[in-house]
Structures are given as structure tokens and as C-alpha cells.
Amino acid sequence: MSLTGKHILSSDLFDRDELERLFRLADLLVPVARGEQVTRVLEGAVMASLFFEASTRTRLSCESAFLRLGGAVSSTTGSEVTSMSKGESLADTGRVVGGYCDLVVMRHPEVESIHEFAAATNTPVVNAGNGAGEHPTQALLDMFTLHREFARLGKTMDGRRIALVGDLRHGRTVHSLMKLLSRYDSMTIACVSPAELGMPAPLLELAAARGHRIEESDQPATALKDADVVYTTRLQTERFADKPMPYSDDFRIDSSLVNRVCRADAVIMHPLPRDSRPGSNDLSADLNGDPRLAIFRQTDAGIPTRMALFASVLGVADGIAASLRPA
């Protein structure tokens, strides 16, 4: 399957062969992401970056990825500074913006937004997060991080125990990640959340139908034991109509819990941002010195992964190896 010219709205699109092709390309692009090598395969191309919801990592890493491939970026943040504040529809906005660029990256707080926008244009649209729906490029970078972590640890992806922890109901990164994990074989996927914040049933059913063992639990201390990967998420306070229920202290992933129950070779991940405000039970900063904590290796993986995706969607991936030169 070729990604050239496709909208990237869901991680459904990526099968195992496609993931492994993207990882090989992203591995090749790591020195470009670090500024050690240069390529200009996207010279003359323009990316429109539309973020109608807050972002640090996704917006800046998408823009850096496009710029480091030699392209140019045109950017807007917040619908109040676009003509949507005058009542323009997402469909009209999609038709117009698609005429100004070669690729659109869009984040929007509503689940249906990305579909309405993409239906109005033939210019490829990349979903950078649609409400509590999906975040496919985050899942790609998470899987690329695992590909590199497991290579370092001498493990394969198949047969691993993965614990997904936190607000699995509203967390769009874990929705996209479930679909990609399901592409591998014989996983045990432990979904660990308060009962009200569980993984949506269709995603549990998808993974089970592909032969994976699914466990659901509200007990992190038990579920994290023997996990090869602990992927924890923030309580998505912005998705609650009323004041969100707080997590119990049992959901605080800190050095005390990790040192008590986790494997010595566990990989501890979080899509970030983590909530450091008083009263939050998000991933603790007291793990920052723990080599098992992969959160900043994840953020660094964002640029080569998104470069590999953009180059593939714009049909220039095959030219990258020959184009690389020292910085």
C-alpha cells in the first residue's frame, strides 16, 4: 500500500509492513532531525499547520519535520483568528486551505472535525488530534520509540505485555496506539483505569479479534508487574463537561511504585504533557533520573517519525537516502 496522496486521519491505515517501512525511513532520518545531516526533498512544498486546540509537541515537531525536509510552513493557531470566527464552515475552510498548500496538519477539539475538513479537499490532511478521537502521528512516534527501545533491549515487539494506564476513555493517543499494537502478534494488553474511564469497547474488541490477550483492571500495582511497557496518560480534564473526578492515589506512577513493581527493563512512556499542578496524580517528576523513563526519547522521536510520514504522503520517500549530505 502506498501512502502517497492519502489523508492520514486514523492509525487504521498502517499495517505491520507499512509501520516497519516507516521505521526504516525514520531511522535514516534521525541524523537529519538532529541537524547532523541535510536533505531538501520537500523544497518548494508548503505545509499548512492549523491548530484549533492547544499544542506544544505536535505543532512544533510537525513544523520542524517539514522545515528540515526543505519545505515551508504556513501556520495558524486558534479558530478565533481565522474566518471560522465569522461563521465559515470547516468544509469551506478545508477547500480554501487545501488550495494554498501541499499538505495540511490539523488539530481540532471535535471528533468529526477532521473528517468534515478532509472531505472538502484532495490535498492530504494529517490528523494531529481530533478531540477524544485519535492522534495517529503520536501513535506512530510511540511505536517508533518502542522499535528503538526494544532494539536496545534485545526484544521483539511480538509477545510483549503492554500496560496502558489512566484516562483511556478520553485519551486519543491510546486509541490510536491500540490499533497499532494490534498489528503485532500475541500481545497481552492490560488496560488499567478507573471503571468510568475505561478503553472504548470497539478498541478492546478489535485487539481481541486480532488474537491479543486483553486484561481490564483498576489496580496499577498489580497490572504493572511484569509489563514490558508502561504507557501512562494524563486525566483529560478538558474533555469533561463538569469537574472531572480525580484519580485515586493508586494511579500515581512514581518512583516508589515503579521500584516496587516494575521490571528492571521496563519502558515507561507518556505522550505528554504531564500535569504537574498541585493535586494531579499524573506521572511523577521523581522518575526523571530513571533510565526506564522514555518520555523525552518519545518527544525526540516525533521529528524523524513525522518526517518519514510527510515524505511518504508527498511521494518523495524513495529519494531520501540518495539526497542526504552532511550538515
- In the complex, the residues that contact ligand CP under the rule CB under 6 A are 55-58, 129, 135, 138, 271-273
Shortest spacing between CB 57 and ligand CP, in angstroms: 4
Shortest spacing between CB 171 and ligand CP, in angstroms: 10
Shortest spacing between CB 317 and ligand CP, in angstroms: 24
Q: Nearer Cβ to ligand CP, position 121 or 138?
A: 138
Shortest spacing between CB 200 and ligand CP, in angstroms: 19
Q: Nearer Cβ to ligand CP, position 71 or 171?
A: 171
Burial class (CB in 10 A: 0-12, 13-18, 19+), 143: buried
User: Residue 178 contacts by C-beta under 8 Å, 6 or more apart in sequence?
Assistant: 164, 189, 199, 203, 204, 206, 207
Q: Nearer Cβ to ligand CP, position 194 or 271?
A: 271
Q: Are 299 and 17 in contact (CB under 8 A)?
A: no
Q: Using the structure block, give the residue that is written with the C-alpha cell 521523581.
A: 286
Q: Nearer Cβ to ligand CP, position 116 or 275?
A: 275
Q: Nearer Cβ to ligand CP, position 143 or 316?
A: 143
Shortest spacing between CB 95 and ligand CP, in angstroms: 26
Q: Of all residues in this chain, which one has the CB nearest to ligand CP in the complex?
A: 58
The CA distances from residue 91 to 111, 117, 120, 136, 156, in Å, are: 15, 5, 5, 21, 43
Shortest spacing between CB 128 and ligand CP, in angstroms: 7
Alpha carbon distance 189, 211 (integer Å): 11
Alpha carbon distance 268, 154 (integer Å): 17
Q: How does DSSP classify residue 271?
A: -
Q: Tell how strand 229-232 and strand 161-165 pair up.
A: parallel
Burial class (CB in 10 A: 0-12, 13-18, 19+), 216: middle
